[in-house]
Amino acid sequence: MNRRTVLSSSWATCMGLIALEAMPSTGWAALFSQTDATAALRAALERGAQVAVQQLGAADGFLANDKVRIGLPDVLEKAAPILRTVGRGAQLDELINSMNHAAETAVSMAQPLLVQAIKGMSVQDAQRIVQGGDNAVTEYFTSKTRAPLGQKFQPVVSKTLDKLSITKQYNDLAGKASKLGLVQGNMVTVQDHVTQKALDGLYFVIGEEERRIRKDPVGTGSALLKKVFGAL
């Protein structure tokens, strides 16, 4: 992300002016202008969000990544060996592939809400994030976007998975088993399972990018990120 992109937003400019008066001029804040600090933070947020969406929204973005690949729901995973011995292996494999492809399709829609969360960032949010731990950005995105993104992802996931007969069969059996008290904990549908795992994967990758930026702001190629995070 170049400097022109970082500084082009009128929101970033307004936030910088507000922060200039609202934030203390001691510690990290004294090392550079509040406009720089706000712009750098916005750049970090946008970079993390963009990387995560592009990476996971690409073909096999989930399926080819061991860290975020979506497996079967726990109950179905435990039953998988038996199901495979009775000839249901192909259906299970189709379900796994479909779950991961549904997740990548859903994640590709996340960018607008993530950007909206960045624009809604308060001065207090900015302070907490810049001075926070390695997961401060991820925690901010999670608190601001998990619920609305879940609502946005669910129909996309369902559109893919509803076509599979095994999805309905599992959901029906899981519902009956839950009512009869045959399983522990709350039973979730395949659609809910994929939606939540897609969100987990999204925030996981954002977190990885955040830690990379904090560890090596110079390597991001952004002078602002180097100036702000490199001084912490």
Angle CA 149–154–156, to nearest 5: 105
DSSP 115-141: HHHHHT--HHHHHHHHHS-TTHHHHHH
Confidence (pLDDT) at 153: 96
Confidence (pLDDT) at 55: 95
d(CA 188, CA 48): 30
- Which of helix, strand or coil describes residue 158? helix
219 pLDDT band, cuts 50/70/90, is low
Task: Count the neighbouring beta carbons within 10 Å of the beta carbon of residue 57.
Answer: 19
Confidence (pLDDT) at 96: 94
- Per the listing, tokens 């109950």 go with 75
Structural domain boundaries in the chain? 3-229
Q: What is the pLDDT of residues 46-98, one digit of tens each?
A: 877 888 999 999 999 999 999 999 999 888 888 888 888 988 889 899 999 99
DSSP 8-state symbol, 225: H
Kindly tell me the sign of the dihedral angle through the C-alpha atoms of 17, 19, 23, 26: negative
Confidence (pLDDT) at 47: 78
Supply 95's token pair: 């379900």
101 pLDDT band, cuts 50/70/90, is very high
Alpha helices in the chain (DSSP H): 3-7, 10-22, 34-57, 74-85, 89-107, 111-119, 123-131, 136-161, 165-179, 190-215, 223-229
Q: Which long-range contacts (CB under 8 A, 24 or more apart) does 168-171 make?
A: 170/73, 170/76
| Between 211 and 157, residue with greater pLDDT | 157
Confidence (pLDDT) at 76: 83
Q: What is the pLDDT of residues 121-148, one digit of tens each?
A: 877 787 788 777 778 888 899 999 999 9
For the segment 19-41, the average pLDDT, to the nearest whole number, is 52
Kindly report which listed range (25-34, 160-169, 194-203) carries the lowest average pLDDT score.
Answer: 25-34
d(CA 50, CA 40): 15
First to last CA, the chain: 21
For the segment 169-185, the average pLDDT, to the nearest whole number, is 69
Confidence (pLDDT) at 224: 60
Confidence (pLDDT) at 95: 92
Confidence (pLDDT) at 63: 96
For the segment 85-114, the average pLDDT, to the nearest whole number, is 93
